Amino acid sequence: MTKRQFEALVERALRRLPRAFKDKLANIAVVVEDWPTDETLAELGIEPPDTLYGLYRGVDLTHRDSGYGNVLPDTVTIYQGPIEEDCLDEEEMAALVRETVIHEIGHYFGLDDETMERIEDSDA
User: In terms of pTM, does the model score above 0.85?
Assistant: yes
Domains and CATH numbers, the chain: 3-61+72-123 (3.30.2010.20)
Burial of 5 (0-12, 13-18, 19+ CB in 10 A): exposed
Cβ(6)–Cβ(32) under 8 Å?
A: yes
Instruction: Kindly tell me if the per-residue pLDDT of 124 is higher than 60.
Output: no
Burial call 75-103: b when 16+ CB within 10 Å, e when fewer: ebbbbbebbeeebeeeeebbebbbebbbb
Q: pLDDT for 1-42, tens place per residue?
A: 999 999 999 999 999 998 888 999 999 999 999 999 999 999
- So what's the pLDDT on residue 56? 96
Q: Is 68 left (phi over 0), alpha (psi -120 to 50) or beta?
A: beta
Which pLDDT tens digit goes with each residue over 63-76?
Answer: 888 888 888 999 99
Confidence of residue 106 (pLDDT cuts 50, 70, 90): very high
